[in-house]
Structure 1
């Protein structure tokens, strides 16, 4: 799994050191990653063979010609760039991907399970604050649902 958050420097040639913990066979990313603009946020999404297989399964579960399948094919397959590591564990991000999500000097690499995201540092701060707010709200709702389920089980009021 891709876990944790790292601040890294993007050099003048758009090279980015990927954390060693991310460059593993377990992640399917021992030789490189594929990268594309995220569908859900203003960042780049990246991962190894496992993530590619997961997206492929989702896409292939939709019938050929389905507009959602076409949109996913365009967004994931059409925009994807396979990126190999150099001898130092760096990838070189294409200029158009950096421009699309406003990446420059300092970036944030954010592990989110089967994938990781590459963020503009300032945009990351706002995204993180919103994600934490949503997580607190979700945890609160989950706790309330558990209390209601326990009360229903015992015949008591919630």
Structure 2
């Protein structure tokens, strides 16, 4: 594929908590797992976070390793490092796609988001998100920082940095 998760999908959750991962997302997960053979069972990291996150974030293994390296460079004992370690190491779990392209969401994780019979699987660039479909369109994305000079009513393309010749 091309290294990004894009699009959104409404997928069913069965009685055992199994959620189907879209085929194009599975290919990206396979590419992002250095131990996965082509067409194999990709592993990933599911970050559920605390009360500030009303969605799940799924990271390919390579993306998780990039974030782990960044965390390791931070000062030991800093609050920022501790918060990031808590988020990515203690409020997360590893999952593997099964033979039918599904992952199992534990009851704890389903309860956190109020997931019952479906979920919205949403591309987010290097990662993808899993939302309660009833909340996706209206829920805020955690506690986003208000940026000076940002107008939420403008076309977001006006904020893309750099030249058009970057290829």
TM-score range normalised by the length of the shorter chain? 0.7 to 0.9
Q: Does 1:115 align with 2:127?
A: yes
Q: What is the aligned length? A: 140
Structure number with greater Rg is 1
Aligned to 1:52: 64
SS in 2 for 1:86: coil
Q: 1:79 aligns with which of 91, 109, 132?
A: 91
Q: Which residue in 2 is equivalent to 1:32?
A: 43
CA deviation profile, 1:86-134 (whole Å, cap 9, x unmatched): 1101100111111112212121000111100000001112148xxxxx7
CA distance in 2, matches of 1:21, 1:67: 37
Q: Is the 8 A contact 1:7 1:109 kept in 2?
A: yes
Please say if residues 36 and 45 of structure 1, whose CA atoms lie closer than 8 Å, have aligned partners that are also in contact. yes
CA drift at 1:23: 1.5
Q: Distance in 1 between matches of 2:91 and 2:62?
A: 18
Q: Is the 8 A contact 1:50 1:114 kept in 2?
A: no
Unaligned runs of 5+ in 2: 141-150, 161-167
Aligned to 1:103: 115
Moved over 2 A (4+): 24-30, 38-41, 134-143
Secondary structure of 2:156's aligned partner: helix
2:20 equivalent to 1:8: no
TM-score normalised by L of structure 2: 0.73
Higher helix content, 1 or 2: 1
Q: Given the alignment, which residue of 130, 135, 139 partners 2:156?
A: 139
**Residue ranges of structure 1 left out of the alignment (5+ in a row):** 129-133, 144-158
Q: CA RMSD in A?
A: 2.7
Q: 1:69 aligns with which of 64, 78, 81?
A: 81
- What is the TM-score of this pair, normalised by structure 1? 0.77
Distance 1:140 1:21 in 2: 25
2: distance between equivalents of 1:89 and 1:140?
34
